[in-house]
Structure 1
Amino acid sequence: MIISLTARRISGNVLTGVSKSKRLGSISRWFSGTARLERASPAYDSQPIRLLLLGSPGAGKGTQSARIQKNFNLAAISSGNLLRQNIARGTDVGKMAAAQMERGAFVSDDVMIELINNELVTLEQQSWLLDGFPRTINQATSLDKTLASTGQPLNLVINLHVPEEVILQRIMDRWVHVPSGRVYNLSYNPPKRHGYDDITGERLTKRPDDNPEIFKVRLQKHMSLTEPLLEYYAKRNILVTCAGRTSDEIYPQIEAELICRFGLGNVRRVGEVVEEDEKRAISERVV
């Protein structure tokens, strides 16, 4: 059963040594902001984290992925990064993906499934997260078959909910360094030199689909595809929804869920913002 909780700020609390019996019962949540958290069923300590991040284009999946990867030492697979790297290299898959994206369409299931499956088979017995895949029921069922064959089924799905008007502004201000996947935003994370990557000095580019007309088409398609996908994972009782307007509102919810579900008591205080961590998360951002 999914339980909706009203977020409230509780300072000074540290989640340490959460016992299995407490996690299997009602677990108190600690996180800052004014968002909603819907809980999934707890997992066992012995399980590696196998996390899927869902959310509309521009919801900040890459930002959250970078923070989770750093703080919880997970391997990360970004469907967006894989696609952009193939597009930049001019592979057959990249050419097909680029043509579809320029029309505002999603990349076909066959292409995405092949890309992701090739990555997953290298990560057996590791903790990992998926960013941006699956996006359809067909992709989800194919993913489940691959994970079942390697003995590493999903045990948590986090859906990021950000208001549409916030997302639209983000994509208008977004620039990307394709080879690395680094993403900049003119509003809150501009490059040191306008139009150029901070690390390599190479030119930044706009994604072909980062304009209001194409993006609205993508957003509508995403919403129509996501509803059945969320229902699919909710029935498996592994779905959590975290909501907010900024990544700093949403991330403490994600962190609290991972700490409580997987007994990770040695992670820093929930809701605490560490300046150096934030700088590194921004520099590694992949949206």
Structure 2
Amino acid sequence: MRIILLGTPGGGKGTQAKLICEHYGIPHISTGDIFRRKIKEGTTEGKEISTYTEKGQLVPDRLTIGLVDERLKNDDCQKGFLLDGFPRDKKQAEALDQIMKAKKEQINFVFLIDVPKEIIVERIMGRRVCPKCGESYHIKYNPPKVTGECDVCGTPLIHRADDQEEIILDRLAIYNQTTEPILEFYRNKGILHKIKGDGGIQDIFSQIVTILDGAK
């Protein structure tokens, strides 16, 4: 079971990725997590990655594709995986195709969590994150047990500086522009599934599970 999960920023992709991976026992492979780990380890790659992320720039394909390829060679990916945050454009989708062909494997499912723009803005504006462990909350939909504190480590939660309406709308415009060619790429392969993302967490998860279990 090899899955790609696509969705706009604030569309609930991270929450669904976690649920899917726990349910099916497959690794959650996030390019963001890979980048953060490399930076923390202080590797040559990590130092190069930080020169881009510190400026708010995208990490070049040369680095991103190489790191994803390296991660997919790990033993825990033999029975499947879920990719989150990759591919982000058609060039990366084509590169992933070549990685899969080299492994004599293929991507089985691509899910797009489709959420109306106004709901995305509301979700992101209400998002709070833990700066220490990375756990994410929402003041309305998924509040912490103690207001303003992380359930996992007790650290005070923060409202990210870029979680503002004008910035969110700019990010959505860029996302839509770069993602449409990816959708067309996987639509032509017959593996793209559009999921209605304006419902609750369990409703969205149920739609995904129905498709995955129906293919067994």
Letter in 1 for 2:55: A
2-structure distance, mates of 1:191, 1:89: 30
TM-score using structure 2 length: 0.86
After TM superposition, the score normalised by the length of structure 1 is 0.66
Q: Is contact 2:126–2:140 with CA below 8 Å preserved after alignment? A: yes
Aligned residue in 1 for 2:154: 201
Q: Following the alignment from structure 1 to structure 2, what is the Cα–Cα distance between the partners of residues 216 and 180?
A: 27
Matches within 5 A, 1:167-186: 167-186=120-139
Cross-structure match for 1:72: 24
Larger RCO (CA under 8 A, 6+ residues apart): 1
The match for 1:253 among 180, 198, 207 is 207
In structure 1, distance between residues paired with 2:153 and 2:70: 28
Using the alignment, how far apart are the partners of 2:143 and 2:81 within structure 1?
29
Task: Let me know the Cα RMSD of the aligned residues.
Answer: 2.2
Mapping 1:94-105, distance limit 5 Å: 94-100=50-56
Structure 2 distance, partners of 1:255, 1:98, is 37
Name the SS of the counterpart of 2:55 in structure 1.
helix
Shift of 1:212: 1.7
The unaligned stretches of length 5 or more in structure 1 are 1-48, 263-287
Residues 200, 242 of structure 1: CA spacing in aligned structure 2 closer, same or farther, 3 A cutoff? same
Q: Which amino acid aligns with 2:134?
A: G
Which residue in the other structure is 1:216 paired with?
169
Residue aligned with 1:221, SS: helix
SS in 2 for 1:158: strand
Give the number of the structure whose residues are more often helix, by fraction: 2
**Aligned to 1:141, which of 84, 88, 94?**
94
Distance in 1 separating the partners of 2:158 and 2:140: 16
Aligned pairs for 1:24-103 (under 5 A) are 49-85=1-37, 91-92=46-47, 93-100=49-56
**Structure 1 residues 94 and 209, CA gap change in structure 2 (3 angstroms):** farther
After superposition, the Cα gap between the structure-2 partners of 1:238 and 1:72, relative to the gap in structure 1 and judged at 3 Å, is: same
Identify which range, 171-180 or 148-157, moves more after superposition. Answer: 171-180
Structure 2 CA distance for partners of 1:213 and 1:76, relative to 1, 3 Å:
same
Shift of 1:214: 1.9
Partner SS state of residue 191, structure 1: coil
Q: Secondary structure at the match of 2:11?
A: coil
Using the TM superposition, give the Cα deviation of residue 85 of structure 1 relative to its aligned residue in structure 2, in angstroms.
4.8
How many angstroms does 1:141 deviate by?
A: 1.2
SS in 1 for 2:62: helix
- Larger C-alpha radius of gyration, 1 or 2? 1
**Which of 146, 162, 180 does residue 227 from structure 1 map onto?**
180
Mapped partners of 1:244, 1:86: distance in 2: 32
What fraction of aligned residue pairs are identical, expressed as a percent?
A: 37
Shift of 1:127: 1.7
